[in-house]
Structure 1
Amino acid sequence: MLPIKLTRPLVSIDLETTGVDVENDRILQIALITLHPDGKRDSKCRLIDPGVPIPKEATAVHGIRTEDIVGKLAFSLVARSLQKLLSGCDITGYNVAGFDVPMLSAEFKRCGITWPEEGTKIVDSMAVFRVQEPQKLAQALKFYTGRDIGDDAHDAEVDASAALDVLLGQAQRYIGDERTKLSDMLVLAKDPDWLDSTGKVKRVNGVACINFGKWLGKPLAQVDRGYFDWVAKQDFPEDFKAICKDAGDGIYPEQD
C-alpha cells in the first residue's frame, strides 16, 4: 500500500540541461517516473538535442557530451507527446518547483504549449526536506530510505526515481501510517512564513515583504505602485496577483 493516497498519476521529473538559465539554456535529458494510484511505476527517459553545443561545465556535472546527442530529436519534436504524457498528472521531484518545472515550462512555451496545466499539484520533495530536515538529494535518499544513490547521481532517471522514493519516505515519516493525500504533502513543503503558494510574498519579522527579484526584502507598503500594475500583466500565480492587487489599493496582509 502506498503511503500517499493518489487520485491520479504522480510524475517524478528530473532534467539534465546545458545550464541553469531557464530562458537561455536547454534540456538535454528528461526522465519521467510515473507512479499510478495502484502503485505501478512507469519509467521513461530520453536524450534531447538542444540545438547548441553542450558547455564543458555542464558535461562535468552530468557527463552528457555534445556527441552523445547527435541524431537525437529536438524538444519541439517530442513536445506534444510529452504534453500528452503529463496531462492529468501531478508532479514531484527534487527541486522540481525551483528548476525542473520552470525549465520544462519554458521549453513548452517555446513550442506554443502552456504547461503545467491548470489544477496540477506540484510537490517538491526538496522543499519538504528543506523545511523538515535540510539536506541534498543523496542525503535525503539515505535519510528517508536508508539507501545510497551510488555513482549514478546526475543521471536523470536515477535522480527522478530517487526523488520519488524520497517523497514516499517523507509521507511515511511526517504523516504516519494513515492514508496520506498529496495535498497533505503540500502543507509540509510550504514555509510557514509564505503568504502565497510559491513564496513570492513572505512575512519577515511579522511584516509582509516581497521575497524575490528587484524588491526582495521590501515590505509591500514600501514597494512602488507601478510594480503591482506590472505584476497584474504578467504570468504569475493568481494568489500572488491578488496580494499585489490589494497592496496596490493600500490593503496589506495583517501583521503577526
Structure 2
Amino acid sequence: MTDTPHRLKLKRPLAFFDLETTGVDTVKDRIVEISILRAYPNGTHDQKTWRINPGCPIPTETSMIHGIYDEDVQDAPTFKQVAKNIAKYLEGCDLGGFNSIKFDIPMLVEEFLRADVEFDISKRRLVDAQRIFRLMEPRTLTAAYKFYCNADINDLGKGAHSADVDTFATFKVLEAQVERYPGVTVRDVFGNESQPIANDMDVLHDLCTDKMVDLAGRMCFNNDGIEVFNFGKHKNKPVEEVLDKEPAFYDWIMRGDFPLDTKRKLTEIKLRKLKQSFGK
C-alpha cells in the first residue's frame, strides 16, 4: 500500500471505513472487524483495524466470505469494550466508504447505540464511493478498483473481502472518481439533475445522501422536501400526516424489529410536530 500523498481536497479528516460482520441485518447481526483509514487535509493518512468478538457465533457461510471464524475473535474485545476508542478515532471526521450509507454506517450507528456511546452523524459529511460508482459505472469494488485505478485489488495483499484491503481500495477509488468526473452532472431516480461532481466533500455528501431521512431508508424526503414513509401501506405518505391520523403506527414501529436509528428519527419527527403544535 502506497504512502504517497492523496489528492482529495479536504477541510477536515475523511475517515474511510469497512466492516466485516456476522451478516447483513443491522438489527440482529454484529461487527467482527472494523478498519478505518483517516485521510487528512495535508495529504497524509493513517489506518487502524480492530477485531471484534460479536458475542455470538459467526455463520460458516459468512466466515467463508471474509475469512474470519469464531476462533479468530474468541479473545478479541467486544464492541462495547472498544466503542469509545473507535468513536475517539472518528472524532472530527467525515465518513467515507463503499456501500457505507446503506450498510456500514447504519451497522456502526446501531453498535454505538447498543454500547451507549454517543456518535452523532448529523454534522458529518457522508461520502459513498459505491453510490458515485453506480451512478457512473455500475460495478463491484473489485471492478471499481480495476476500472479507476487500473490495478488488481488482489495485488494489495490478502485479497478482496479483507477489511483493511477493501478500505484502502475504497480510498483510492474515491480519489480517482473525483479526478475522473469534475463538472459532470447525473440524474437521480426521480429525474432530478444533481449539482456537478467536484473534489468537495459537501458536494459529494449531497450526492450520496440525497433524500435520506433515516439510515435504513424507511423514511425519505419527497421532491417537495417533506419526510415520507418509504415502505408498507403508508409508502409515500407524509410521516407527520400518518402520525396524526394513525398514532398506533408509531407504537407499532417502536415495538417492532426496526433499527434503533429509524426509531430515533421517527421520534424526533413526532416530538418536533408536538412542539410545533404547542407553539401555536
Pick the TM interval, shorter chain: 0.7 to 0.9
Q: TM-score, normalised by structure 2?
A: 0.73
Number of equivalenced pairs: 242
How far apart are the structure 2 equivalents of 1:126 and 1:227?
Answer: 37
Determine the structure 1 residue equivalent to 2:150.
Answer: 146
The 5 Å alignment of 1:1-256 reads 2-150=6-154, 152-175=159-182, 180-189=199-208, 194=211, 200-201=219-220, 210=228, 212-215=230-233, 217-220=235-238, 225-226=245-246, 230=250, 234-236=263-265, 241=269
2: distance between equivalents of 1:50 and 1:25?
Answer: 8
The residue type paired with residue 166 of structure 2 is: D
Deviations 1:10-39 (A, max 9, x none): 111100011111111111011001101111
Q: 1:39 to 1:52 in 2, by over 3 A?
A: same
The answer to whether the 8 A contact 2:98-2:170 is kept is yes
Note the aligned Cα RMSD (angstroms): 3.5
Q: Residue type matched to 2:171 in 1?
A: L
* Contact persistence 1:17–1:26 (CA under 8 A): yes
SS of the residue aligned with 1:8? coil
Q: Deviations over 1:87-116 (max 9, x none)?
A: 100000001111111111111111111323
- When normalised by structure 1's length, the TM-score is 0.80
Q: Which runs of 5 or more residues in structure 2 are unaligned?
A: 184-196, 254-261
TM-aligned CA deviation for residue 203 of structure 1: 5.5
Residues 65-88 of structure 1 deviation map (CA, whole Å, 9 limit, x = unaligned):
111112111111111111111110
Inter-partner Cα distance in structure 2 for 1:63 and 1:122: 28
Distance 1:228 1:5, change over 3 A: farther
- C-alpha change, 1:235 and 1:68, in structure 2 (3 Å) is same
